[in-house]
Structure 1
Amino acid sequence: MSSDLTPPVFRWNTDDIPVHHRFDQYVEMVRKNLISVTTRCSDTRGFKTDMQVSPLGRLRVASIGGSAKQSARTRQNIKASGDRAFHLVAGLTNWDFECRDQRIKLNATDLVLIDTEREYASRLPDGFRNHTVSIAPDVLRKWLSDPDRIVGKRLRGDKGWGHVLSTFVDQLVHLDVTRMPLPASVLEDQLGALITLSATDGVGRSEMRKSTQADLRGRIIESIRQRCTDIGLTAAQIAADIGISPRTLHRALSAGSETFGALLLTARSDVAYRMLISPQFDTLTIADIGFRAGFADESHFSRTMRARYGHPPAQLRRTRS
Structure 2
Amino acid sequence: MDYSRGMTVSINDTRSKIWSTEQLPPAERLDYWIGAICEAFLEMHASAYNVEHFHARLEAVSLDALVVNCVTHTPQNIYRRKADIARSRDNYSYLICNTTSAWQVSQEHIASHLLPGDMVVLDSRSRYELNFPTSANTVSVQLPIGWLETWLPASQQLLGRRLDGQQGWGLALRTLLQQLTVDSVESLVLPARLIADQIGALLSLTAQAHTSGEVGSSRSGALVEKIKQGIRVRCAEPGLVASSIADDVCVSVRTLHRHLAIAGCTFAEILMTERIALAHRMLTSPAFVRLNIAEIGYRVGLTDPSHFARAYKRRIGVSPARARTKN
Say yes or no: TM over 0.5.
yes
Q: Counterpart of 1:171? A: 179
Q: What is the Cα deviation at residue 187 of structure 1?
A: 1.6
Distance (whole Å) between structure 2 residues aligned to residue 205 and residue 188 of structure 1: 26
Secondary structure of 2:201 counterpart: helix
Q: What is the Cα deviation at residue 175 of structure 1?
A: 4.8
Distance (whole Å) between structure 1 residues aligned to residue 105 and residue 39 of structure 2: 22
Distance (whole Å) between structure 1 residues aligned to residue 17 and residue 65 of structure 2: 16
**Within the alignment, does 1:192 sit opposite 2:178 as a pair?**
no
Deviation readout 1:219-261 (Å, 9 max, x if unpaired): xxxxxxxxxxxxxxxxxxxxxxxxxxxxxxxxxxxxxxxxxxx
TM-score under structure 1 normalisation?
A: 0.60
Secondary structure of 1:180 counterpart: coil
**Within the alignment, does 1:35 sit opposite 2:42 as a pair?**
yes
Distance (whole Å) between structure 2 residues aligned to residue 73 and residue 105 of structure 1: 18
Distance (whole Å) between structure 1 residues aligned to residue 63 and residue 177 of structure 2: 12
Q: What is the Cα deviation at residue 203 of structure 1?
A: 5.0
Secondary structure of 2:60 counterpart: strand
Q: Counterpart of 2:270? A: none
Structure 1 residues not aligned, in runs of 5+:
208-321
Q: Counterpart of 1:122? A: 130
Q: What is the Cα deviation at residue 155 of structure 1?
A: 0.4
Q: What is the Cα deviation at residue 50 of structure 1?
A: 1.4
Q: Counterpart of 1:60? A: 67
Correspondences of 1:229-244 after superposition (within 5 Å): none
Q: Counterpart of 2:112? A: 104
Q: What is the Cα deviation at residue 137 of structure 1?
A: 1.5
Structure 1 stretches of at least 4 aligned residues deviating more than 6 Å after TM superposition = none
Q: Which amino acid aligns with 2:142?
A: S
Distance (whole Å) between structure 2 residues aligned to residue 159 and residue 66 of structure 1: 26
Q: Please say which structure displays the higher CA radius of gyration.
A: 1
Q: What is the Cα deviation at residue 5 of structure 1?
A: 7.1
Q: Which amino acid aligns with 1:66?
A: H
Deviation readout 1:252-279 (Å, 9 max, x if unpaired): xxxxxxxxxxxxxxxxxxxxxxxxxxxx
Correspondences of 1:112-261 after superposition (within 5 Å): 112-173=120-181, 175-202=183-210, 205-206=213-214
Distance (whole Å) between structure 2 residues aligned to residue 14 and residue 39 of structure 1: 14
Distance (whole Å) between structure 1 residues aligned to residue 156 and residue 109 of structure 2: 15
Distance (whole Å) between structure 2 residues aligned to residue 97 and residue 203 of structure 1: 19
Deviation readout 1:141-181 (Å, 9 max, x if unpaired): 22211211211111000000000011111112355333322
Deviation readout 1:73-113 (Å, 9 max, x if unpaired): 10111111122211000011110111232321100000000
Secondary structure of 2:78 counterpart: strand
Deviation readout 1:257-302 (Å, 9 max, x if unpaired): xxxxxxxxxxxxxxxxxxxxxxxxxxxxxxxxxxxxxxxxxxxxxx
Correspondences of 1:267-286 after superposition (within 5 Å): none
Distance (whole Å) between structure 2 residues aligned to residue 191 and residue 205 of structure 1: 21
Q: Counterpart of 1:19? A: 26
Q: Counterpart of 1:90? A: 97
RMSD of equivalent CA atoms: 2.0
Q: Which amino acid aligns with 1:38?
A: H
Structure 2 residues not aligned, in runs of 5+:
1-10, 216-327
Q: 1:174 to 1:8 in 2, by over 3 A?
A: closer
Distance (whole Å) between structure 2 residues aligned to residue 41 and residue 136 of structure 1: 29
Q: Which amino acid aligns with 1:73?
A: R
Distance (whole Å) between structure 2 residues aligned to residue 21 and residue 6 of structure 1: 25
Q: What is the Cα deviation at residue 34 of structure 1?
A: 1.6
Q: Which amino acid aligns with 1:9?
A: S
Q: 1:28 to 1:5 in 2, by over 3 A?
A: closer
- Counting matched residue pairs gives 204
Secondary structure of 2:179 counterpart: helix
Q: What is the aligned-residue identity percentage? A: 23
Distance (whole Å) between structure 2 residues aligned to residue 13 and residue 36 of structure 1: 18
Distance (whole Å) between structure 1 residues aligned to residue 72 and residue 212 of structure 2: 27
